[in-house]
A and B are shown apart, each in its own frame.
Chain A
Amino acid sequence: MNKPSSTKRNLLWLQSGGCGGCSQSLFCAEAPDLLVSLAAANIQLLWHPSLSEASGGDFLNLLEQIKAGEIRLDILCLEGSVVRGPNGSGRFHMMANSPLPMMAWIKALALQAEHVVAVGTCAAYGGITAAGSNPSDACGLQYEGAEGGGLLGEDFKGGSGFPVVNIAGCPAHPNWITETLMVLANDQSDDMAVDGFGRPSSYADHLVHHGCPRNEYYEYKASAEKPSDLGCLMEHLGCVGTQAHGDCNIRLWNGEGSCLRGGYACINCTAAEFEAPCHPFMETPKIAGIPIGLPTDMPKAWFVALASLAKAATPTRLKENATSDHIQVPPVQPRKRP
């Protein structure tokens, strides 16, 4: 990371079909906190729904000015999915005091933006809002679930030449957001690497499994059987951390947390279509007793062979502790040589 850009970068943040949780998560940014992070990136917040003074007419005037190209828009962030229903009208989310649905505003503003950023899985792919029968006909900015498309279409590129950057996560980690904004604000295009789903590689090239404190249990297939057990959550309790993209166990949440550290399964919330797992979220689907969702880049036969070997070699300590909510058997102190 180099010096902050010498010109202030204007950022506009809009919310649509979501829960506002990515903003709440962003406000948990630390070391530095949110305001200092924005200052460090030389970002000027044109408007954020939870933070700005302007509301009503002042806000709508601002949007009109951006739309008309009178105010430069360097970064447009959308939080929440694009709501297209009913029947393509967008009336499930009208902009207040405006004849236009929110989706029309988002599109018009995206066309003026240098960079367009989808904050959270909803804005990226549709997310939770698109679950079940997708009653509001929600989609992402440039994706419809795992398929390219969405509101802006597969070929969309912002003024900078970049497609939409998808900071997927439900919610997104505060530092995934601040880090991406810093990179974009500084025109460090080489740093803005993304994976096949438009997610910043800086966090999406890790698996949630990396750094998981339950790793020793995983190695020996010493599994938790019920909530609050210490063992690995993959075999029975629905954890897909070995397949899920994210650095959640390396870059922790709210101080020292992560889903696994909190004692519950990773549900792959950074992935397109995570909202439709085809099995109860907190139960591992199995065929003939073997979990069907194994690590994606490991031959299945090898996994099964290694797992049965490991299971046979599981130390009593792990076997006992895996199904307990606190350590029953501590590690043994190695004997000193006489």
Chain B
Amino acid sequence: MSRRVVGPFNRVEGDVEVQLDIVDGVVREAWVVSLLYRGFEQILRGKPPADALVYTPRICGICSVSQSIAAATALASCQGVKMPPNGELATNLILANENVTDHLTHFYLFFMPDFAREIYAADPWYPQISQRFRALSGTASQQVFPVRAQFLHLMGVLAGKWPHSLAIQPGGTTRAIGVKERMQIAGILYSFRQFLESTLFGDQLENILAIDSSTALQSWAGQFSWQHSDFCRFLHVADALNLEALGQTDNIFMSNGAYPIEGKPLLASGVWRRGDLSPLNPAAIREDVSHSWMAQRNQALHPYDGLTVPDADAADGYSWGKAPRLDSQVVEVGALARQVVAADPLAQDLVRQSGSNVRNRVIGRLLEIARVVVAMESWLGGLQQGKPFCNQAPNVSEASGCGLVEAARGSLGHWIKIEKGRIQNYQIIAPTTWNFSPRDAQNVPGALEQALVGAPVRVGEKDPVSVQHIVRSFDPCMVCTVH
């Protein structure tokens, strides 16, 4: 048995290292190390509460809007302010723009290029796949950069710029748009839909959304050649490499719920425990630091009371990440979790058939692209000319509140305590804090640490390709993880 250190990983946001015990060509145990500590929770202490809207988006350049909305929602819950309908719709459009862009970036730029690696050179699909998805030079990246940039014009219209906008405030959004801007966004969405239908899916979004089971997915793909679209290409490779068997977790999924319309989310919140759906109780969240480089020991605290005191020499510590648990359980978050919890029939059936794995995580993301883009079209249609986008929020000097949202890669929570008009405590649990958590006090490994167990390692492989697929299947964001 040997301890293998794998990293640095690229094509993930931020830095991560994985340590593996490998026995007979199979990973027996894994440890995930989050490498960068910046200390946002320390930075925020003592600041004016509204300044969180400037600092927290800058935790992450790829989840910037999600951080912004979590902060605005946490502040709004302190101030007791609600967004007017236009503000809510505009916020949904801005968040959806970021989340869908992130899914697109993940698929084309981060995840698929691994199948162009030399290690697959002998596989029958390799010539076509490597030509399409090779990092930087593949035909896909040449196509995707302009498509992505144009889709993000929605940010230019609604949010001023991306990343790091201040357009989302507790009471709504700062840019009240009119006819001109609505027509601009309609054009942006139409053009993006064209790309999805012609290139990513090779079918109308409505037909993708009508796929309601694993069998239906098989027969949908069966209509076409495997090179019909990028989704078909992925399904073909996933089949050939049996990605369904790779990267299993415990199949407990959590979602904060996303895209509220008059308070009711398009994607419901909840927890799925191996087939049972129940409401999410955020009061049951604790952050354990028994294996983190943190000074406070053996105390799993709710984020309202959370502490962040880094200590690079902490005994048993092996990561800057903390270990969040829900009812003392490890949960997986992300697009697949979100779709399963929101009762999408295909996502639920995939998970019933084969659980959470590399293939299903990617399908969950692509499926969500279709679902959310269709919703964006309807939100745009719901904006009312001349009606307000933003309500004014009062200053408060003593309050506490939380903001629970869904970033592309999963559940994001901000918890704030305000005392004497200043931030007394601010705690953040990001999606990859959940997914890439270290062990807890009971020595239970986090979701990725579980998913890596059983990964095959080929003879002579230094950076096992199976590990690359598993790590990237979560679309990790390491800068959010530790923050």
Q: Which residues on A are within 8 Å of B, measured CB to CB?
A: 15-25, 27-30, 33-35, 45, 47-60, 83, 86, 89, 91-97, 128-129, 131-136, 138, 170-171, 226-228, 252-265, 267, 269, 280-282, 325-326
Contacts and interface: CB of A to CB of B under 8 A. Distances in A.
Nearest to A38: B136
B16 interface: yes
B44 interface: yes
B163 A59 contact: no
A86 B7 CA distance: 23
13 contacts: A19-B479, A52-B135, A53-B116, A54-B10, A56-B462, A83-B36, A96-B8, A131-B55, A133-B39, A133-B42, A227-B390, A254-B156, A263-B173
A86 B312 CA distance: 8
Q: 10 smallest A-B Cβ distances: which pairs?
A: A262-B160, A21-B61, A135-B39, A96-B7, A257-B156, A263-B174, A254-B156, A56-B463, A255-B153, A132-B43
**Interface core residue of A95, A129, A135, A226 (most chain B CB under 10 Å):** A135
A131 B43 contact: yes
B176 interface: yes
Interface stretch (B138-146, B208-216, B329-337): B138-146
Contacts, number: 267
B174 A252 contact: no
Interface in B39-58: 39, 42-48, 50-51, 53-55, 58
Nearest to B170: A227
Contact of B38 (A135, A257, A261): A135
A50 B312 contact: no
Nearest to A253: B161
Nearest to B320: A92
Contacts of A33: 145-146, 149
Nearest to B67: A19
B17 interface: yes
Nearest to A57: B462
Nearest to A131: B43
Interface in B103-124: 105, 109-110, 113-114, 116-117
A135 B60 contact: no
B441 interface: no
Interface in B248-282: none
Given A20-B14, A57-B462, A262-B167, A132 B156 contact: no
Interface in B155-180: 155-167, 169, 171-176, 178
B343 interface: no
Interface of B: 5-11, 13-17, 33, 35-39, 42-48, 50-51, 53-55, 58-62, 64, 105, 109-110, 113-114, 116-117, 134-136, 141-142, 145-146, 148-150, 152-167, 169, 171-176, 178, 184, 310, 312, 320, 386, 388-390, 392, 462-463, 468, 479
Contacts of A257: 155-157, 159-161
Contact of B310 (A28, A86, A253, A326): A86
Contacts of B310: 86, 92, 135
A50 B8 contact: no
A262 B38 contact: no
Given A19-B59, A49-B11, A228-B173, 9 more contacts: A16-B36, A19-B58, A24-B62, A28-B148, A50-B110, A51-B135, A86-B312, A133-B39, A262-B175
A260 B135 contact: no
Contacts of A136: 37-39
Contact of B157 (A50, A97, A256): A256
A49 B117 CA distance: 16
**Interface core residue of B35, B36, B320 (most chain A CB under 10 Å):** B36
B145 A59 contact: no
B13 A20 contact: yes
B7 A21 contact: no
A28 B7 contact: no
Nearest to A262: B160
A135 B312 CA distance: 13
A187 B13 CA distance: 32
Nearest to A94: B35
Contacts of A25: 61, 162-163
A50 B167 contact: no
B51 A97 contact: no
A60 B17 CA distance: 13
A273 to B, nearest CB: 14
Contact of B37 (A51, A93, A264, A281): A93
Contact of A258 (B15, B48, B161): B161
B58 A255 contact: no
A325 B389 contact: yes
A33 B152 CA distance: 13
B37 A252 contact: no
Contacts of A19: 58-61, 64, 163, 479
A77 to B, nearest CB: 15
Contacts of B169: 227
Contacts of A138: 38
